[in-house]
A and B are shown apart, each in its own frame.
Chain A
Amino acid sequence: MSIDQKTVKYISKLARISINEKKAKNLAKDLTNIFKFIEKLNKLDTKNIEPLTSIAETKLHLREDNIKDGNIRDQILKNSPEKNKEYFVVPKVIE
């Protein structure tokens, strides 16, 4: 299978990564090679095989629903690129 520039543009839109034409061209080449490699799997018949969905054979533990931390609003806000008092700021969403 080959992945063309149009597909790269489409999936980069889904992934919310802006990509220019030149990058899209290179990525189309890289991804085509990678998918050629991945598609070796098509040679393998997996019709009656159960998918392995979890490697950890664990039973989930229950615990009391207690608050163990908190009151760190200022510390958390400190990491944000743009803030206004106790809010994160993003570009205008509603006109």
Chain B
Amino acid sequence: MSEIIKLTLNELVAGIKKKKFSSHEVTKDFVNRCIKSKKLNSFITDNFDNALKISKKFEIKSNQNKQLPGIPFAVKDLFCTKGIKTTAGSKILNNFIPTYESTVTQNIWNEGAILLGKLNCDEFAMGSSNETSFFGNVENPVGKKLVPGGSSGGSASALAANLTPATIGTDTGGSIRQPASFTGTVGLKPTYGRCSRWGIVAFASSLDQAGPMTKTVEDCALLLQAISGYDPNDSTSIDIRVDNFSSNLTEKVKGLTIGIPKEYRVENMPVEIDKLWKKGMDFLKDAGVIIKDISLPHTKYALPAYYIVAPAEASSNLARYDGVKYGHRSEGKNLIEMYENTRSEGFGDEVKRRILIGTYVLSSGYYDAYYLKAQKVRQLIKQDFDNSFNSVDAILTPSTPNSSFKMGEKKGDPVSMYLNDIFTVPVNLAGLPAISVPSGYDKKKLPLGLQLIGKPFDEQTILNLSLALQKRINFKRNVNNWWK
């Protein structure tokens, strides 16, 4: 039998159910691996002792029907966990202990999983390299001093390094798919409304969505199943049937039509990414898929519109951090000065930048010129996708315009950092589901992903296409344990 930590989520579930190994044995192996991998800085808070205790008492007999029985499971530190510190990667929440549990994590515990710890992320999920976290940079297991992507960088790093069998992240503009691409893992952003946002530290409410990050497409289907569903606590979650993504998963995709949007062939895109994209098309053709050229003419306006909508919503959401009821407080001569000092010391530079952008675009006299304009652009972007989906079943693009980069490389230049999300942001603006599948390596031997975008609530089709890709690509994750 191969090492426990290297098994897929599905293999671990089957193994525990068949009593090949116990939940405790599995948890012990992951905890040991985590302890030896502290250099990666993937965790903000660990729950190792608790996890070991719980797994020891875990009885498979009474939990045979659960989807994640006794599986140790680490989550992004943006999900509120009852009684366990939740920081969102920020100093301002450095000592915050939620009195409630997020719906998505509760769904995972209800299926039998055990909390292993809280994973590092960009501060308030604002970043594409995990360099904005108050708790320090996260290493990409793929190579030293390389960023794991962001904002779910700790999640991607922990998953790729075999510190957790699967994980969940959140995706506002690419924060699941971009780190998945940078670490050679699978990451899916569900349709807006597929999963509850209750108990997730809010960044941009009309864009945020939680989603699975896994080693394989099969694991992704299993985990999506576990976290999806309507929640009365989130009025934007949608009351729609959740199909069994796992049992419906099939690589039989013959006859489906895939769109290739010409606008994603951006200037200065590395040749390797273009090649990889073509390879993806060839593999899908081999699976019997019809390839069709399409146009999404407003693509180039997505990122500028996103940098109005997301900061505007963030500036409103983050107004609650005032040093009164919870979180960090700095002293001040009076109430206003206390607020100003608290927020100045509690927030990092990127978060401040975005709060200021948001405050500016929403300030008196500017609403029409910025926020309203961005919402109109958002309509055009959504119409582009709606029109395309009249003639195609899904859309294939690269996940990112580049592979992982060195820490510090893009830190001084916010706009060049934002350009990382050029292929992922349109999907959030249109509320669509999309998945990044590891698809190859560039000449620096760094992983690259391909993205499949689906119709609203049609995660099944992009999962099926991803499975067809996965089988043909036969991607091998390269983890050489350099940090040990």
Contact = CB atoms under 8 A, between A and B. Distances in A.
Interface of A: 3, 7-8, 11-12, 14-19, 27, 30-31, 33-35, 37-41, 44, 46, 49-56, 58, 60-61, 63, 69, 72, 75-76, 78-82, 88, 90-93
Nearest to A26: B349
B101 to A, nearest CB: 12
B136 interface: no
B359 interface: yes
Nearest to A40: B304
Given A19-B344, A79-B96, 12 more contacts: A3-B360, A14-B359, A30-B414, A41-B301, A44-B380, A55-B206, A58-B235, A69-B100, A76-B325, A79-B327, A90-B324, A91-B338
A41 B373 contact: yes
B326 A18 contact: no
14 contacts: A3-B360, A17-B355, A18-B343, A31-B356, A34-B415, A38-B307, A41-B301, A41-B305, A41-B377, A58-B193, A60-B235, A79-B326, A88-B325, A91-B335
Contacts of B357: 31, 34-35
Interface-central residue, A17, A31, A75, by most chain B CB under 10 Å: A17
B110 interface: no
A93 B338 CA distance: 11
Contacts, number: 157
Nearest to A78: B97
B340 interface: yes
Given A39-B304, A55-B430, A91-B333, A17 B232 contact: no
Q: Which of A40, A76, A81, A88 has the most CB of B within 10 A?
A: A81
Interface in B207-254: 232, 235-236, 238-239
A90 B328 CA distance: 13
B334 A92 contact: yes
B332 interface: yes
Contact of A49 (B339, B356, B380): B380
Nearest to A83: B325
B332 A91 contact: yes
A82 to B, nearest CB: 7
Contacts of B373: 41, 46
A17 B342 CA distance: 8
Contact of B304 (A38, A51, A76, A90): A38
B344 A79 contact: no
Interface centre among A54, A79, A88 (most CB of B within 10 A): A79
B169 interface: no
A40 B374 CA distance: 11
B1 interface: no
B360 A11 contact: yes
Interface in B317-355: 322-329, 332-341, 343-344, 347, 352-353, 355
In the A-B complex, the 4 residue pairs with the closest CB atoms: A51-B375, A55-B431, A81-B329, A79-B326
B414 A18 contact: no
B315 A18 contact: no
A8 B307 contact: no
B418 interface: yes
B310 to A, nearest CB: 11
Given A37-B415, A46-B376, A72-B99, A17 B338 contact: no
B325 A80 contact: yes
Contacts of A16: 322, 336, 339-340, 343
B113 to A, nearest CB: 24
B307 A15 contact: no
Contacts of A18: 337, 340-341, 343-344
B192 interface: yes
Given A61-B235, A76-B99, A11 B356 contact: yes
Contacts of A33: 414-415
Contacts of A61: 232, 235, 239
A38 to B, nearest CB: 5
Interface in B165-214: 192-193, 206
